[in-house]
Structure 1
Amino acid sequence: MSNKAEAEPGHVFVYGTLRQGSNHPMARRLSAQARYVGQARANGRLYDMGWYPAAMFDANAPTRIIGDVFALPPGERLLAELDAYEHGDPNYARIPLEVSLAGTGTVLVWTYGVSAPPNSRVIPGGDFLTHWNAKSRRPIRP
């Protein structure tokens, strides 16, 4: 997790169970407490971990990770809840990252990634919701 810096991101980039269209309770909480900004992309690889993905961000990767950007509300509460949710897997860390918003430039965000590729299959196209809907008819829930 990052230490507090002078220019902390005021947004979060989510690419899995927290995306718009997910039925996960934490996705509903994020949508209720933060303002949806739009779809975004980041260079890297997205891995299938079963009912959730893992992202390994790499500015030089030829592949992209598709996700959603939310503007965080004032205060640390929602970010602390996201940290608790994401740190259910000790391999994840919150990192600052610049992502490309669809049609509007870039934005600095918080996101959660892994530092080493997991022993899992890469998700073609980098879109977890499309991948999930193709392999399962069940809503995304733990």
Structure 2
Amino acid sequence: MDERMSYLFVYGSLLNDDNEFAVYLKQNCTFYNKGKFEGKLYEIGLYPGAIADTGCGLYVYGSIFFVDDPKVTFAVLDEYEGFGTDEPYPNEFIRQLVEIEMVNSTKMSCWVYLYNLPVKGLPEITLGNYLLYKKSPDLLQPGD
């Protein structure tokens, strides 16, 4: 895997300090920068799901990590996210390369776990920031 494919953008439960996989991520990856991508963020239940949606004018905010050992780390995180051929079909999340805009306005491609099921009726986290939403759940917009 080439180095530019060794970056992961996380926006949800992998940012929670009390999540064992977030701990794993921080032990096996290096924080690189804050960033955002054009898309929408939804409340799925105990975690959020994001979809990429260029042209929507909304953003999903999170952090970029450099993945020290992509083969091993992505295998662990893919299982956590329910992504892969060994997981129920259709996968709830897919891992896709997405263009991320960093705080200094430069852009780079990062892997992102995107929600892969229908979003109709799911409440939207319109600010696009899961950690902020967790502090103030009244920022949720009802689903369609």
TM-score tier after normalising by the smaller chain length: 0.7 to 0.9
Q: Could you tell me how far apart the structure 2 residues matched to 1:13 and 1:46 are?
A: 14
Matched, 1:85 2:80: yes
Aligned counterparts of 1:116 and 1:61: Cα–Cα separation in 2? 19
Cα distance in 2, alignment partners of residues 75 and 10 from structure 1: 6
Q: Please give the alpha-carbon distance, in whole angstroms, between the structure 2 residues aligned to 1:60 and 1:115.
A: 19
Q: Which has the larger share of strand?
A: 2
* 1:98 counterpart residue number: 99
Does structure 1 residue 56 correspond to structure 2 residue 51? Answer: yes
Structure 1 unaligned spans of 5+: 137-142
CA RMSD in angstroms comes to: 2.2
Deviation at 1:61, TM superposition (A): 1.5
Runs of 4+ in structure 1 over 3 Å off: none
Deviations 1:15-43 (A, max 9, x none): 00112x53211001101110001210000
* 1:36 and 2:37 matched: no
**TM-score normalised by structure 2 residue count:** 0.81
TM-score of the pair, normalised by structure 1? 0.83
Q: Which has the higher contact order (CA 8 A, sep 6+)?
A: 1
> C-alpha displacement at 1:75, in angstroms?
4.3
Identical aligned residues as a percent: 23
The one-letter code of the counterpart of 1:94 is R
